[in-house]
Structure formats: structure tokens, C-alpha cells
Amino acid sequence: MEWNFADLFEGVADAVGKRTALVCGERRLTYSELDERATRLANHLAAHGVQPGQHVGIYAYNGSEWMEAMFAAWKIRAVPINVNYRYVEAELAYLFGNADLVAVIHGREFIPRIAAILSECPKLKVLVSIGDDSDEDLALIGAVDYEEALGAASAVRDFGARDAGDQYMLYTGGTTGMPKGVMWRQDDFFFSTVGAIMVMGGEMYSSPEAVVKAAEAGGGIVAFPVAPLMHGAAQWVALVMLLQGNVVVLTSQKRMDPHAVWATVEREKVMSMSLVGDAMARPLIEALDDPDTEYDLSGFLVLGSGGAILSPAVKEEIAAKLPNVMIVDSLGASETGYQGAVAGSDAEGKPRFAMGEHTTVIDDEGRAVEPGSGVIGHLARSGYMPIGYYKDPVKTAETFVELNGRRFSMPGDMARVEADGTITLLGRGSVSINSGGEKIFPEEVEIALKSHPQVFDVVVVGVPDERWGERVVAVIQPRGDATPTVDELAAHARQLIAGYKVPREVHLVHEIVRSPSGKADYRWAKAYVAGNE
């Protein structure tokens, strides 16, 4: 057995085969059933020419098929590739081409989009269509039905030896530019992220067999990753839970319905829920105030956020309505893996987290920032890290740098080191605002504005300004029919942040556009402001 996700999952499935592994709506799969379905799909892909190292796209909403497809690709040493289901045709054509996809497992409803770009994807030969409510014609793209493909394929594992160097890849859209494929060796990704979360500060597993033994002895947790599986945070939680022999609950809804989520938590006796930031947490928590709403959440113990930090205002709401629930903010990125949990916040609400042995802050001269110096630097991770970006040596060289003989991953987050050794996370440098020579991070302004009672959601951007270079602009989704003014919001914000950070302009919208994972879409916000000036 290798440090390989297919090997690890098969070992766990053999050890705890009768346990429930995955629940999605009416479908409930044991570990043996989940493994068999993944094996059948793997054999179908291999029989149709998918080779080790080739890339298999997963273009679907959450469901058991998403996890089956991921494990199926790994079983034949291929590489599963996450595809954003919100992409329009031009974005899909770019991703399919950039990722060199030879196969795609897709929702049937997406057939028209695939058909529109198929001529631009000469390497794409294998299409397997997951049934849904649509009646799109499979023949339009030469796809086969998912269940028919599984039914005709062998359930025998006859895949040969795998390697710890087989790849895990995650395409990340980031905040600017086109999506990039972050390449990891599977053993590096296990030790940096999956295994690190599994042991949570304890002693790392000594062998792959030790992972299986721990799963056999453990289990019993019911976890619910609410975010789309095409987002790294949800994938990581699902992998961690399955390799521990626990139950993973999924929702296949295309748009998050807070009450459907809470009903699932109650029905499945969910103990731990993970989501991405305020965009998911706030509507979930505020739904508990709706009339005639009552859920038995007595067994619900942990609410975690990964990929975006929960604001202090939202944490206060959660604590007030779910006082017995532990709130866990995790820090990490596609380019760094898991970096730790947030250990509090400063006076302005900016998150702080404990600095682990592999995490540091590096200044513009390539030196480690001294604690308490006040210097803002680049958050950096050493140790286990990615190989680089797929087909992008220039960006790889910019992000994965060698300093004094040590390799670091620096994807763009800015931070400072406090006197006590904790790190205050400021935000992504690529979206920072330069106003009158002062650097302003949108996240810190957003945190301040979210605590205003009339603000439901907000994205802050910088727009060109003749006097200041850039000025701070807030795009706000108000609560109900509220119409907060720029003066009201500025007065509130000045109590929490310095005056030069306060927004000079406000745009009210019915709904903030975010990525499916809940991350802010700064490009959309800038375009909206530009179109309304």
C-alpha cells in the first residue's frame, strides 16, 4: 500500500465495508458500495482508453457521482479535474483545453454547453453523463449514461500498483486571471493537508496501513460539507472523513436552501458542518429566525469554515443562536494546503492564527518578518507543497520561490507577525487598494461593514480616482428594504477602521455575486461599479 488516495480508500473500504460512507438525498452507500461504483467507473474509463497521468474532468453538482468519479480516476492513476459548473462556454473551452481533458463526467443538463465547445477540444474522447431532471440528448456529444456505463463495467479491482507520486490537482480561479491547475504529489498533499487535518496537531500516521487501522477503530462522525465539491475545502473535508471511516452527507441542490440544509442536519444527525465564509453562514444562521422554524440540532457540535474566514459579526450570530456549537475557522489555499486554524482576531476584527513550523511571513526583501515589527509581508508555506501550476512555468516561478536554499509557496496573501508570534491575516495582495499611497485590503473593510445592522453582504473594491489613485467603493446587499447611505456606513466603519479605509462610494444591489464556493467575485464588483458610474 502506498501514500495514494486510491490505495488508502480501498484499504478503508475493505476494513469497514458495511458502514455507511455517503448519503445524498435518498441515496445511501456503504463503503463497499461506494468502492464498487468507483471501481466500475474506473474500469469503464480504462476500457475506453483513459491512461495513467491523463486528466478526467468532473463537471457536476454535488452527489455520490462526484466522489465516485474522483476515486475512479485515481484508481487508474489518472488525475481528476474539478470543473466550475457556473462557467460559460468560453471559460469551459479554456479550462477543457488548458487541462488537456481526455474524459469528462458531467451532469446531463450541461450537454448543450459541452456540445458548443466540443470541436475546440480534440483530446476529449470519453463523456459519461450523470442523469438529472433534464432530457438532453446524449447522442449530441456521444455521451453514455452514467448508470449504464457502471452496469456494463467490471466490478473487479485489477488496476496494478500505484505510486505516491500520482497526482492530486485542483484548478483554482483565484481572484484575478484565468483558472490555474495546482499540481501536488499525492503523498505531499496527504501530509500537508488530509493527514494533518485527520490528526489535528497529533502525531502523523506512520504508514498507510496505520490510516486503515485508525479508520477501523474509529468512525462514528457524521459530517456535512455544504460547499460544492468542485471547491477544495469541500473535497478536503470529504476525503478526511472517508479516510477515517466516517459518514459524509452531501446535498445536490443547485442553490443553497438554508432550510433544506437544516432539515438534512436534523434528519441525518449531522455532527459537523463545513462551509465557506459569511456568504454561506449568514443565510443559514438567519434562517433559524424564520417563523414556524424549529429543528432538533442537539447533536450538531461543530461548524467550520474553510476558504474564507467568518467575520466577527457572523460568529456572534452563530454563538447567540447555537451556543453549544464550536466554531472553527481554517486557513489554507490550493497552493499551500491546510495551514492551521484561526486563533482569534485583533481589535479591528482581522483574523489571527497560530504560526506552525512550516508557516512564516516574508518581506519584500525575502527575509522573515520579525514578530511585533509591524511589517506587512507575504504569507509563506514551506515543507510539503505543490509541484507547481500545470503548463505555467512563469506563474510557478512567481508563486513557488526558493529563498536561502528553502522552497516556499507564496500565493499572494498578505500578513504581519504580532509580538506574541501569531499572524494577522490581511488579505490577498492582488486585490488590495492603493489610495493616496496607503495600502487597503478589501477584507478588513468588508469585516467592518458587515457589522452594520443594515448590511447583509458586501464586497469592497478599488476604482480609479484622479486625486487618490484609487478610491474605496462598497457594493452592498442590504437587509430587506434597508437603504443605508454612504454617510451612515462611513460613520459606522470609522469606529472600527482608520478613516482612509472607509468607503467613499456605495452601490446597493439585490444580490452580491459570488463564486459557487462563496468567495468574493472582485472582478464582477469592479465591472458593476464601472457600469453604474
Give the type of residue at 130. I
**Mind spelling out the 3-state secondary structure of 310-361?**
CCHHHHHHHHHHCCCCEEEEEEEECCCEEEEEEEEECCCCCEEECCCCCEEE
Same domain, 70 and 36: yes
CA nearest to 336, candidates 409, 401, 392: 409
Domain membership of residue 318 (yes or no) is no
pLDDT, tens only, 391-450? 999 999 999 999 988 999 998 888 899 998 888 888 777 788 888 777 888 888 998 999
Residue 39 predicted with pLDDT over 60: yes
| Structural domain ending residue among the three candidates 428, 449, 467 | 428
CATH number at residue 466: 3.30.300.30
Give CA 532 to chain center in angstroms: 31
Q: Say how many residues make up the chain.
A: 533
Asked if 64 and 163 sit in the same domain, the reply is: yes
413, 448: one domain: no
pLDDT, position 350:
67
Are 81 and 161 found together in one domain? yes
CATH label of the domain that carries residue 76: 3.40.50.980
Mean pLDDT calculated for residue range 339-354: 71
Question: HSE-up of 47 (CA within 13 Å, CB side)?
Answer: 13
Residue 416 sits in the same domain as residue 442:
no
What is the predicted pLDDT for the residue at 491? 94
CA distance 459 to 445: 9
Is this prediction's pTM over 0.85? Answer: yes
Same domain membership, residue 130 and residue 46: yes
**Better-predicted residue by pLDDT, 347 or 200:** 200
Tell me which residue has cell 460613520: 491
Residue 379 lies in a domain: yes
Cell numbers linked to 406: 528553502
Higher per-residue pLDDT: 117 or 312: 117
Give the pLDDT band of residue 349 (cuts 50, 70, 90): low
CA of residue 95 relative to chain centroid, distance: 18
* Domain shared by 465 and 517, yes or no: yes
C-alpha distances out from residue 120 to 94, 107, 115, 157, Å = 9, 20, 10, 34
Say if 2 falls within a structural domain.
Answer: no
Under 8 Å between Cβ of 476 and 449: yes
CA distance 325 to 305: 13
Residues 66 and 160 in one domain: yes
Residues 336, 385: contact at Cβ < 8 Å? yes
DSSP string over 372-407: TS---EEEEE-SS---EETT-HHHHHHHEEEETTEE
Are residue 471 and residue 398 in the same domain, yes or no? no
Cα–Cα distance, 431 to 520 (Å, whole number): 11
The residue from 146, 177, 208 where one domain ends is: 177
Annotate 253-287 with b (16+ C-beta within 10 A) or e (fewer). eeebebeebbebbbebebbbbbbbbbbbbbebbeb
Same domain, 93 and 159: yes
CB 425 within 8 A of CB 331: yes
Contact in structure between 302 and 272 (CB atoms under 8 Å): yes
What pLDDT is stored for residue 194 in this prediction? Answer: 95
Return the amino acid letter for 35.
Answer: D
Tens digits of residue pLDDT in 483-523: 999 999 999 999 988 888 999 999 999 999 887 667 788 88
Instruction: Yes or no: say if 375 and 227 are a contact pair by the CB < 8 Å rule.
Output: no
Beta-strand relationship, 326-333 and 337-345: antiparallel
Cβ proximity of 190 and 206 under 8 Å? no
Q: How far apart are CA 251 and CA 255, in angstroms?
A: 10
- Residue at which a domain ends, from 428, 454, 474: 428
pLDDT tops 50 at residue 313: yes
Q: Is residue 286 included in any domain, yes or no?
A: no
Integer Cα distance of 148 and 128 in angstroms? 10
Contact partners, residue 38, CB within 8 Å, separation at least 6: 9, 67, 68, 69, 71, 72, 75
Pairing of strands 101-107, 377-381: unpaired
Residues 423 and 448 in one domain: no
State residue 5 phi and psi, 5-degree precision: -65, -35
Neighbours of 449 (CB within 10 A): 27
Instruction: Give the rounded distance of the alpha carbon of 475 from its chain centre.
Output: 23
Per the structure, how many domains does the chain have? Answer: 3
* CATH code of residue 358: 2.30.38.10
Show the beta-strand stretches assigned E in 76-166.
Answer: 79-82, 101-107, 126-130, 144-145
- In this predicted structure, the answer to whether residue 202 has a pLDDT above a threshold of 90 is no
- The region of weakest confidence among 135-139, 189-193, 363-367 is 363-367
First to last CA, the chain: 61
Please list, in sequence order, all residues whose beta carbon lies within 8 angstroms of the beta carbon of residue 487, skipping any fewer than 6 positions away.
none
Residue span of the structural domain in which 146 resides: 30-177
Q: Do 387 and 498 belong to one domain?
A: no
Spatial distance between the Cα atoms of 83 and 61, rounded to a whole number of angstroms: 10
In a domain? residue 309:
no
By the 8 A CB rule, do 330 and 196 touch? no
Poorest-pLDDT segment among 60-74, 197-211, 332-346: 332-346
With respect to residue 211, please indicate whether it lies within any of the assigned structural domains.
no
pLDDT band at 342 (very low <50, low <70, confident <90, very high): confident
Q: Would 233 be classed as within a structural domain?
A: no
**Does some domain include residue 145?**
yes
User: Residue 471 is placed in which grid cell?
Assistant: 478610491
CB 250 within 8 A of CB 24: yes
- Which of 242, 75, 45 lies closest to 161, judged by CA? 75
User: Which pLDDT does position 429 carry in this prediction?
Assistant: 76
